Structure 1
């Protein structure tokens, strides 16, 4: 600060009042130079309103009216993106079309969104390819393969990264994990363990040839067995989970 009344003879004294005066900001009462006494964090406070005045050092009377000025704290990229939630647990039906939306993740950056690219976040996938993809702008996760089969693999752990500075080198980043489970759809027919397609029953000692030349169960029953006698049991299995009742 400098007053027109200051002739450089030390007769002018500069005083400072307002937000942070004497604690965060100090003034050299002879030169009018203002200094900060500690690091300033824009995310805690963006600006300070101060008042300065030049007075006569001998009489303490003002030499001119008090003036107001504002110190604005300029942003630097000192905050990494953070995901609001997570880890995430979601499901998607197996055999979904490629590009099916699974989940949208969101990361926030405390830096100034109006200044540079410090708060401009882009998303990328660190783990989970080639099964899933993420939109770099929106954070929407989608399936990236056709016909993902729950019976082949049910659980996936996908790691998503959010990086500021629009993804440029030197940007800060944060990550989150999305645990995805494929839910069952009825895409498998029941099958017999022996892959049998017909039942061959032997009555007594007589082994008549089967009607068809196909894999079969072989069971025996006495020729004089009563009606309703249990001959045997056949069992079919279905690899589906929610749709496996035969």
Structure 2
């Protein structure tokens, strides 16, 4: 499928690299952190103890410090991809304009949340040791910070970046012949199931729809691959 922006090889290459890097950075972070037990603590979100998560963090100090670079880079690459698609689409539309607004709002908010999370992790590592008993004060403070971080990463980030950003930009890119139709449907599907997933605190069975997040990271990788393939056509 030939792009309606055939002379934009530089943009296509930049967008392709940004999309692939964004998806791989965040997927690598999520998988690695889940294996180490330093990602999310569902027990804490339901009123349980956060001690296991704290122990995992302070037992892997170097890992948790450096692995946090990946999501910060990943979400930054998303903003680059969003801007590239915005430029490639060319023709003005409310979908691409609103989508760019979603990226501009969502990415800085999420990146700031991860930076704050790095600060929290550094404080935990400095104040506690793996063999030490976690004080009630540290547990309460960490639980509060963790809840705030999870609200951003479970609701604010997905709403602006995936539901508004990816979904609308994917559809606008399809209408401009920059991405194929199935990519637009895939983007809208990811955004739709994540929007329904927002109801999972009321209907716990809907939590499985959180898979829209990882699917969106795969969407980014595929999007980047498509843009790179277009470089040869352009």
TM-score (normalised: structure 2): 0.22
Rg larger for: 1
Normalized per residue, the structure richer in helix is: 2
Normalized per residue, the structure richer in strand is: 1
